[in-house]
Amino acid sequence: MSEPVARAPGGRLTPAVLDHVDASLRETDDVLRTAYPGHDGSRQPVHTVYVPADRMTATLPAQWGVAALAAADAAGGLAVLAERVGLAPSLAREVVPRVRAKLEREPIEDLRLDFEDGYGDRGDDVEDADAVAAARRVAEAVEAGAAPPFTGIRFKSLEQSTRSRGLRTLDLFLAALIDDGGLPDDLLLTLPKVSTIAQVEAMVVVAAALERTHGLPERALRFEVQIETPQIVLGRDGRVPLAQLAAAGDRRVTGLHFGTYDYTASLGISARHQSLEHPAADLAKDLMQLAVAGTGIRLSDGSTNILPVGDGALDAWVLHARLVRRALERGIFQGWDLHPHQLLTRYLATYAFFREGYPDAAARLAGYLQSRAGTVLDEPATARALAWFLQRGVECGAVDVADVTADVGIGPDTLTALAHPTRPAPPAEESA
């Protein structure tokens, strides 16, 4: 009979085996730490508003809020509109005062001055002047405290025909901003019509060069990538280039934004059927969502060009509210708005989503933290999702932080730490 095998104290795996496993998984550990750092916990706007760059004024956000409320009044009032787009009366009573206050206080969360499709080709002299003027108006809005929380520009693409023009506009815009007091916080740059990873890599080179030229800190310039072509979704080699964007962006890519009409048109879908809810659009957004999961890169839905104006206003509001809700249910918390009247259904649908889900989310998170048994056995990943839901609701104004503190028993710092556990933990005395 053979002698019994000697066992390591306390277990059967020897230190040599454990060391071997650590060594073999070192590359995996590095990838998970660097390529999938998770969300940084900072605020994501619920929408991006696009306006032609030459229309920018310091008062534009406030004007959009006034126009939205006037449209609601013309439709019978905000409460009437809320019910007509599908909100139950009890939910409408919760949402309407919050939406009105939002439109008076912060009607636009993210403003993008458009030098691309919404601006067109006006000649070099005109665009040069508009780039400088737009920067100065942004600086004026920041100085006056009238700027939205997020502001930026969409310059022309890196396709050969528009490359030089787009980069010149970006350079002039940044130079004028710096001359007028520096870059505003949360400045966002949008790179449209990306077709290849090489264009993303080229934008990284441009951003680094602009930082050196203008004396900016490293990675001060970050950018969003617009997904508007099939080539960036499925490459000629049969791979999905979307999955390579984060690495190619060198920690500069902040978001992927879907371009509804360029993308669907490029697939041959007729104009009548081009929509955010077309199956081809859903496939692209599903792949975008998979590509950015865990990377910290945000995802944004696109726009609908069915505007709530004239005799068809109500139908357009109903459509927009449904599309906003549809995206939220699918985990896409941002979209584009193109007209002041769309602000009404952007906030009605968004606030309804968070107010409707608040009681269950708050109760489940409180039960998880207090280890109470309930009808749903939540895991840590679900607890993170619950905390993130509540955090998003607070950030956009749908939920009051005081209610979270009372109902869940934690403050905002602890809420953020639960939603994004890779961030530093809050001070012990802050959590409830």
Element spanning 255, H or E = strand 253-258
Which residues make Cβ contacts (< 8 Å) with residue 195, sequence separation at least 6?
159, 229, 231, 232
Eight-class DSSP state of 233:
T
Residue with tokens 């022309």: 156
> What pTM does this model have?
0.92
> Mean pLDDT of residues grouped by 10 in the chain (432 residues)?
53 90 96 91 96 96 98 97 98 98 98 97 97 96 94 97 98 95 90 97 98 93 97 96 94 97 97 97 98 96 97 98 98 98 98 97 93 67 94 97 96 93 53 38
Confidence at residue 421, expressed as pLDDT on a 0 to 100 scale: 85
Structure tokens at 51: 């306006």
Element spanning 419, H or E = helix 412-419
Instruction: Name the 3-class secondary structure at 35.
Output: coil
Residue with tokens 């840590």: 380
Domains within the chain, CATH numbers bracketed: 47-356 (3.20.20.60), 357-419 (no CATH)
The predicted-structure confidence for 172-209, as pLDDT tens digits, reads as follows: 999 999 998 889 888 999 999 999 999 999 999 999 99
Instruction: Name the 3-class secondary structure at 45.
Output: coil
